[in-house]
Amino acid sequence: MLVVGGGFGGLTATRALSRAPAEVTLVDRGNHHLFQPLLYQVATGVLSEGEIAPPLRGVLHKQANARVLLAEVTGIDLEARTASAIGSDGAPHVLPYDTLVVAAGAGGSYFGHDEWEPFAPGLKNLGDALRVRARILGAFERADGSGDPGERTASLTFVIVGAGPTGVEVTGQISELARHALRPDYRSVDTASARIVLVEAGDTVLAGFPEGLQRRAAHDLDQMGVEIRLSSTATNIDPDGVDITDADGAKERIACRTVIWAAGVQASPLARTLGEAAGAEVDRAGRIAVQADCTLPGHPEVFAIGDMVSLDHLPGVAQPAIQEGHYVAKVIRARLGGDDPPPRFKYRDKGTMAVIGRNRAVVDAFGVKLGGRPALLAWAVIHIAYLVGWGNRFVTLLRWFMALAFRSRGERAFAVARPDRAAAVDDRA
């Protein structure tokens, strides 16, 4: 049995098959499971990468029927029942399967403007988080080291595109860094003077949340000194700033050195590969329509789950992937045991939540709507429960306590890029 992707969906399915009479190969292009909901905390210095990215081999070391392969799946042949993959050493693999679970997730989308990516990194994987951390912290360094007032202003201007949970969370953390955590450490600039602009094409922050919580989040962000530009789209991004256009067509240029892209999601290309091979529909976000039992039409041996599928209009968040992972494991166990298949997949909505800042969060779960400190507490309990590994849970709790009590950010190291060093040496010569 082959599982593609060790994220929320694939890892859940693999673990749920631990007692099944099956040999499971979990193939992932990364060596770790990634807890994406906390990526923004790595990007803003609250957590280190290891705390949200345990190695897959470590997670599965006690599961005797599971093995891990570090490789990127590049194709799937539904007729031959094989997946082709490229190993980390570049070697090709052909991986046969009797049952296949594809849970390859989704990546970012720049809505046809991939040329913006170098100037506006997204937040999808560990590399992105470290890149964003370097951008944010590097901007404060640049402001402190520059004698040019224009450069200082641009360096202390941060634009976040997209006001969904990720955009709001990263915006809130930049505000915390600028207004509190970094302030005592800088002599030449007042980091609290940073301008933070959140740009959103829709007419509200946190679309999908109840209206009252949207208003609360917008109010919290406003209190934290964030400028919110609703009904506005980014029309150009370059190394010197962003052009935005509002609903009336009014244009504005914001000179800045840091743009973070938190808009747009595109399913793994494997969804289209499977869709074309099985004749299944693929939507605009590149997600394949699966059947009610998460299988592909005409291929009961192939399951697809998580962010790369469209099923029952479920959102691209962790719970559908986790619940689908459990469900397909149940179907597979029933088949192996010769039992009747379970009824169709049914989603249990466990709610939605976002952190805005210190003691500021919004939670809509199990019919209860919370804001402020109670929401932050509920958010922390739920996220700790879903983190993988007791060590990570303990260290993460400690970090959150330090961040809350002392506003400290313990993970501020970043690699300094020195692109023009050689040129500077040449100039001196």
Ligand X SMILES: Cc1cc2nc3c(=O)[nH]c(=O)nc-3n(C[C@H](O)[C@H](O)[C@H](O)COP(=O)(O)OP(=O)(O)OC[C@H]3O[C@@H](n4cnc5c(N)ncnc54)[C@H](O)[C@@H]3O)c2cc1C
Residues near ligand X (CB under 6 A): 4-10, 27-30, 34, 36-37, 39-40, 72-73, 103-105, 123-124, 165-166, 268, 270, 306-307, 316-319, 321
Coil, strand, or helix at residue 262? Answer: coil
Write down the least CB distance from residue 265 to ligand X, Å: 8
The smaller minimum CB distance to ligand X, of residues 155 and 200, is found at: 200
The smaller minimum CB distance to ligand X, of residues 190 and 283, is found at: 283
Q: Which of 51, 169, 176, 200 is catalytic?
A: 169
The question of whether 79 is a catalytic residue gets the answer: no
Write down the least CB distance from residue 154 to ligand X, Å: 26
Find the angle CA(189)-CA(137)-CA(220) to the nearest 5 degrees. 80
The smaller minimum CB distance to ligand X, of residues 256 and 270, is found at: 270
Question: In this structure, what token pair is assigned to residue 217?
Answer: 């989040």
Write down the least CB distance from residue 198 to ligand X, Å: 15
The smaller minimum CB distance to ligand X, of residues 88 and 188, is found at: 88
Q: Which residue is nearest to ligand X (CB)?
A: 7
Write down the least CB distance from residue 1 to ligand X, Å: 16
Q: Which one, of 275, 266, 345, lies nearest residue 311 by Cα?
A: 345
Write down the least CB distance from residue 395 to ligand X, Å: 19
The residues near 313 (Cβ < 8 Å, ≥ 6 apart) are none
Beta bridge partners of 95: 83
Cα–Cα distance, 376 to 100 (Å, whole number): 39
Distances (CA, A) of 237 to 139, 195, 244: 17, 17, 9
The smaller minimum CB distance to ligand X, of residues 154 and 259, is found at: 259
Count of beta carbons in the 10 Å neighbourhood of residue 314: 18
End-to-end CA distance of the chain: 62
Q: Which one, of 93, 90, 98, 56, lies nearest residue 75 by Cα?
A: 93
- Active-site annotation, residues: 169
